[in-house]
Amino acid sequence: ATTLGASAAQTGRYFGTAISAGKLGDSTYTTIANREFDMVTAENEMKLDATEPNQNQFNYTAGDRVANWATSNGKRLRGHTLAWHSQQPGWMQNMSGTALRNAMLNHVTQVATHYRGKIYAWDVVNEAFEDGGSGARRDSNLQRTGNDWIEAAFRAARAADPGAKLCYNDYNIDNPDHAKTKAVVAMVRDFKNRGVPIDCVGLQAHFNSGNPVPSNFQTTLSTFAGLGVDVQITELDIQGSGTDQANKYRLVTNACLAISRCNGITVWGVRDTDSWRPGDTPLLFDGNGNKKPAYTATLDAL
Ligand code: XIL
């Protein structure tokens, strides 16, 4: 096949991109996005600050723009994200204890209910583990409501949208030997053992000099899959350029294809100029919308 989405579909997988509502008027952007990708993640529009700017006043305007663009162009949606320490609305940042726990659960329930039936997979909880060697939970206002906040969020999401796959999503969980990866593996194993509703792990896969693509990335995917969950690469971008970057995209794509429970890959933006890392060139299309060597390597690997 001649596009990323159609090539991924040949093995039952998807190939997605983050979409920003503010760029849907840019025809170069939408032409590439519509042609190449068959899964969409709202880059910011379904986050907590966007969807609940004031407590119990929900705003789905921007999220629905992205969702409607996706569905009207025949694409599926990943939901991102229901519970996170970052991009919280101001009112939530200042909360704690039972009030925050209940506000978080209400947020999960309301947003998952609004998008019920439209979401292939939700990133229910994002980035709950600390970096470095401890393997501990990240300190945050949500974590301080009690260690069970993650499973409580997953149960609320399942009740609100039983048809969506429920994912735990994080970055720097790509290397199987790192403490953070092992800690997420242990949490998922525990959730599966105790019947906490979790269906997938999302690996953001933001790769750069501080977090290089591990040569044994496939081992990480197979370790998660072996726990009985799907694995998705949810926010892929790789610092670099040229052949070196292309080789890294090929390694990541081949790793996913080698694991039957790796359902699909999403890149975190269309062109390099759309990247959240604007000083870098980590995506598959250059600023003019031309295919890069990384694009060709990825397409050939699919
Ligand atoms: C980023 C967006 O790309 C930016 O536009 C925004 O300013 C900050 O968030 N991990 C995640 C994503 O889960 O939601 C983040 O997206 C990138 C890191």
- Complex confidence, ipTM: 0.99
Residue 91 φ then ψ, to 5°: -60, -35
Region of 132 please: left (phi>0), alpha (psi -120 to 50) or beta: left
Ligand 1 contact, 43 CB (< 6 A): yes
Mean pLDDT throughout 1-9? Answer: 98
* Mean pLDDT calculated for residue range 274-297: 97
Reported as a single tens digit per residue, the pLDDT across 192-246 is: 999 999 999 999 999 999 999 999 999 999 999 999 999 999 999 999 999 999 9
* CA end-to-end distance (rounded Å), the chain: 9
- Decide if pLDDT at 117 tops 90: yes
Share of the chain above pLDDT 70, in %: 100
Residue 185's closest CA among 221, 146, 210, 212?
221
CA of 276 to the centre of ligand 1 (A): 7
In this prediction, residues 250-279 reach a mean pLDDT of 97
Cα torsion through 159, 163, 168, 169, rounded to 10: -130
pLDDT digits (tens, 9 = 90+) for 26-38: 999 999 999 999 9
Q: Whose CA is nearest to atom 1 of ligand 1?
A: 276
pLDDT at res. 225: 98
CA 235 / ligand 1 centre spacing (Å): 9
Cα–Cα distance, 230 to 261 (Å, whole number)? 5
**Mean pLDDT of the 103-110 span:** 99
Q: Is 237 in the pocket of ligand 1 (CB under 6 A)?
A: no
Q: Does the C-beta of 266 come closer than 6 Å to ligand 1?
A: no
* Distance separating alpha carbons of residues 286 and 283, to the nearest angstrom: 7
Calpha distance 205→217 (Å, rounded): 10
Q: How far apart are CA 20 and CA 169, in angstroms?
A: 19
pLDDT at 289 over 90: yes
Taking all residues of the chain, what is their mean pLDDT, rounded to a whole number? Answer: 98
Question: Residue 167: helix, strand or coil by DSSP?
Answer: strand
Ligand 1 binding pocket includes 126 (Cβ within 6 Å): yes
C-alpha closest to that of 245 among 194, 195, 290, 281: 281
Q: What is the value of pTM for the model shown?
A: 0.98
Report the pLDDT value the prediction gives residue 6, as an integer from 0 to 100: 98
What's the number of CA atoms in the CB half-sphere (13 Å) around residue 40?
A: 29
pLDDT at 266: 99
80 CA: nearest ligand 1 atom: 14
Catalytic residue among 36, 43, 151, 235: 235
Tens-place pLDDT, residues 125-172: 999 999 999 999 999 999 999 999 999 999 999 999 999 999 999 999
Distance CA 97, CA 16 (A): 37
104 C-alpha to center of ligand 1: Å?
Answer: 20
> How many helices, marked H, and strands, marked E, lie in the chain?
11, 9
Cα–Cα distance for residue pair 14/270, rounded to 1 Å = 15
Which protein residue's CA is at the shortest distance from atom 7 of ligand 1? Answer: 276
| pLDDT at site 99 | 98
Can you read off the two tokens belonging to residue 219? 């081992």
Q: Which residue has the higher pLDDT, 278 or 52?
A: 52
Q: What percent of the chain has pLDDT over 90?
A: 99
Q: Is 127 a catalytic residue?
A: yes
**pLDDT band at 278; cut points 50, 70, 90:** confident
The Cα–Cα gap between 235 and 231 comes to: 13
pLDDT band with cut points at 50, 70 and 90 for residue 263: very high
Are the CB atoms for 81 and 18 separated by under 8 Å? no
Cα 196 to chain centroid, rounded:
20
